[in-house]
Chains A and B, each alone.
Chain A
Amino acid sequence: MVEIKSVSKSYDDVKAVDNVSLIIPDATFMGLLGPNGAGKTTLIRMLLGLIDSDEGRMVIDGEDVSRDNHSLKKKIGVVPQHINLDKELSVKENLIFSGLLYKMERQLINKRTSELLEAMNLIRVKDRVCKHLSGGMKRKLMIAKALIHDPNIIFLDEPSVGIDLKARREIWDILKRMNSAGKTILMTTHYIEEAEYLCDKVSLMNDGKIFYCDTPMNLIEMIGRFTVEYFENSLETKFKYFKTLELAKDFASKINDKYTIRDTTLEDVFYSFANRMVK
């Protein structure tokens, strides 16, 4: 279980993370959703012990997070936002290097390497030097590296940023399989459809604060399952949310301009809540 208890972090006079509390039960796929600069990466970096928090505590599996807590580090796998592969090493060598850093036995490293190359569909490029891989392959290798020591908890910071749709779908399947195998996952993303597809629960974050945390469906039902999207006076797109399709149709019939009635998405939820916060 991951527990974040009233954690804050400031840079000069900017509060990057502001009194955030969050509990992620075992085997949960939690999404941390928010725009750029919301504080998601700072929160992840604090969970990794890369940054010290100004206030609050972070506890993972009953142990306090700290830079020197090596036993805890062995339980965690990390996929950072930027590609951090050793570009001069081959795919296989990158995995062996990770296994050695996590002090695994060589036999076990070889076994895990074979399994992960198979699972990530990287077998045919196993001897290719990383600088010659495609973006999608690099991302898959980063996930494989994070899994080499078979961690129970995985932090993914924007795992599918900058890759094409096919590779993204492949990564989604990998993440789904990881969660089905009982891994606890915290994933930051600003791809809302990614969170909607993958996550059991979603935390909405903006300006350093988590302002809602629930299942995607509950969050959607909170504002209404149906959305009427219309272009008011040809100046600005407006959104109205309704509990039932009948209410949505009734409202739409009074609009003089073009409109669309569709299912509400997490993007609408985020937009709606973020707007309310601003107002």
Chain B
Amino acid sequence: MEVLTILWREFVFFKRRFWKITSALIVSPLLYMVAFGWGIGDNLVVEGSNYMYYIIPGIIALTTMRSSFGAISMRVSVSRLHEKSFEYYLIAPISMYLLTLGHILSGALRGMYSAIIIILTAFVFGIAIKINLLFIFVCFLNSLLFAGLGFFAAMMINTHYDMNRFTSFIINPMSFLCGTFFSLRKMPYLIRSFIELLPLTHSTRILRAIALNGKVEVFSILVMLVYAIIFFILSVKACYEEAV
């Protein structure tokens, strides 16, 4: 019931800002398609695949990350620090873990919405990638994981400026380093080992493996699940600390 209540509230918000949200989500994939599709062209081959087909799963992983993280971190930080409406949850008879789950789920759904937009945009550019149930599940897991990180970040910051630092030091480096745009094979060993620890590396790897070869990267799915659980626990803890 509580989770549905939060989802309803976020749906009303989404409905009210539908065109603003959708237009903002279309811009990035459109730029990627223009730059990497028309700009670099069809001639480039990476790891045996046409570059556009190679890059689309990475862009989906990247965009679902940014979209779910951004949606939830912005919404919760504004509600907590600016509107003060988050306090209403703490006063109401609602469990902290359901409160957290509701918000993270709403962020994950926003991530899924962005995935749909990228796939449709790619289709318009003539690129149709293989999608199966596991692909959809991994997209959702990636969105869930980063919505969890976004919620946790929003609960930890004291000002809106702190959120910019969080994005600059965590989200932006992941966007470029986790194999979304290029293969990690040529990276120096130490840097590659560090990149292997980051969750976006695993989501990119799984989505790419499914889309290009139909392979299943079980270890990476487990890593993502562990990250999702850790971010959920940290978020619930942050909620309890907010209430004290």
Is B89's CB under 8 angstroms from A101's CB?
yes
State in angstroms the CA–CA spacing of A62 and B243 once bound together.
23
Is B79's CB under 8 angstroms from A86's CB?
yes
Query: Assuming A78-B91, A88-B13, A103-B93, is B8 touching A97 (CB within 8 A)?
Result: yes
Is B84's CB under 8 angstroms from A88's CB?
no
Is A101's CB under 8 angstroms from B2's CB?
yes
Chain A facing B: main interface SS: loop
- Asked if B1 lies at the interface with its beta carbon under 8 angstroms from chain A, I say yes
Query: Assuming A100-B8, A101-B5, is B91 touching A73 (CB within 8 A)?
Result: yes
**Whole-angstrom distance from the CB of A188 to the nearest CB of chain B?**
16
Q: Which residues of A contact B5 (CB under 8 A)?
A: 97, 100-101
Q: Which of A135-157 contact B (CB under 8 A)?
A: 145
- Asked if B158 lies at the interface with its beta carbon under 8 angstroms from chain A, I say no
Is A93's CB under 8 angstroms from B12's CB?
yes
Query: Assuming A50-B243, A97-B9, A101-B5, is B85 touching A86 (CB within 8 A)?
Result: yes
How big is the A interface, by class? 20 to 34
Partner of B13 from the list A48, A78, A83, A89 (CB cut-off 8 Å) is A89
State in angstroms the CA–CA spacing of A65 and B112 once bound together.
41
**Whole-angstrom distance from the CB of A179 to the nearest CB of chain B?**
21
Is B83's CB under 8 angstroms from A89's CB?
no
- Asked if A74 lies at the interface with its beta carbon under 8 angstroms from chain B, I say yes
**Whole-angstrom distance from the CB of B155 to the nearest CB of chain A?**
15
Write the chain B residue with the least CB distance to A76.
Answer: B91
- Asked if B90 lies at the interface with its beta carbon under 8 angstroms from chain A, I say yes
Q: Which residues of B contact A74 (CB under 8 A)?
A: 93
Partner of A89 from the list B2, B9, B93, B240 (CB cut-off 8 Å) is B9
Partner of B88 from the list A67, A68, A93, A101 (CB cut-off 8 Å) is A101
- Asked if A177 lies at the interface with its beta carbon under 8 angstroms from chain B, I say no
B90, B93, B94 pick with most chain A CB within 10 angstroms? B93
- Asked if B244 lies at the interface with its beta carbon under 8 angstroms from chain A, I say yes
Q: Which of A53-78 contact B (CB under 8 A)?
A: 67-68, 70-71, 73-74, 76, 78
- Asked if A51 lies at the interface with its beta carbon under 8 angstroms from chain B, I say yes
Is A85's CB under 8 angstroms from B85's CB?
yes
Query: Assuming A52-B244, A101-B5, A101-B94, is B87 touching A80 (CB within 8 A)?
Result: yes
A80, A88, A100 pick with most chain B CB within 10 angstroms? A88
Q: Which of B1-45 contact A (CB under 8 A)?
A: 1-2, 4-5, 8-9, 12-13, 16-17
- Asked if A82 lies at the interface with its beta carbon under 8 angstroms from chain B, I say yes
- Asked if B218 lies at the interface with its beta carbon under 8 angstroms from chain A, I say no
**Whole-angstrom distance from the CB of B99 to the nearest CB of chain A?**
10
- Asked if B92 lies at the interface with its beta carbon under 8 angstroms from chain A, I say yes
Write the chain A residue with the least CB distance to B244.
Answer: A52
State in angstroms the CA–CA spacing of A78 and B93 once bound together.
12
State in angstroms the CA–CA spacing of A148 and B18 once bound together.
29
Q: Which residues of B contact A100 (CB under 8 A)?
A: 1, 4-5, 8
Is A84's CB under 8 angstroms from B84's CB?
yes
Q: Which residues of B contact A84 (CB under 8 A)?
A: 83-85, 87-88
State in angstroms the CA–CA spacing of A87 and B90 once bound together.
18
Is A129's CB under 8 angstroms from B16's CB?
yes
Q: Which residues of B contact A89 (CB under 8 A)?
A: 9, 12-13
State in angstroms the CA–CA spacing of A50 and B88 once bound together.
11
Q: Which residues of A contact B85 (CB under 8 A)?
A: 84-87
Query: Assuming A101-B2, A129-B16, is B9 touching A86 (CB within 8 A)?
Result: yes
- Asked if A102 lies at the interface with its beta carbon under 8 angstroms from chain B, I say yes
Is B91's CB under 8 angstroms from A102's CB?
no
Q: Which 7 A-B pairs have the closest CB atoms?
A: A70-B93, A100-B5, A73-B93, A101-B92, A84-B84, A86-B85, A84-B85
A–B complex contacts, Cβ < 8 Å, 7 sampled:
A50-B87, A78-B91, A84-B84, A86-B79, A88-B16, A98-B92, A145-B88
Given contacts A67-B90, A88-B12, 7 further A-B contacts (CB under 8 A): A50-B91, A68-B95, A71-B93, A84-B85, A87-B85, A88-B13, A88-B16
Q: B residues bordering A, Cβ < 8 Å?
A: 1-2, 4-5, 8-9, 12-13, 16-17, 79, 83-85, 87-95, 240, 243-244
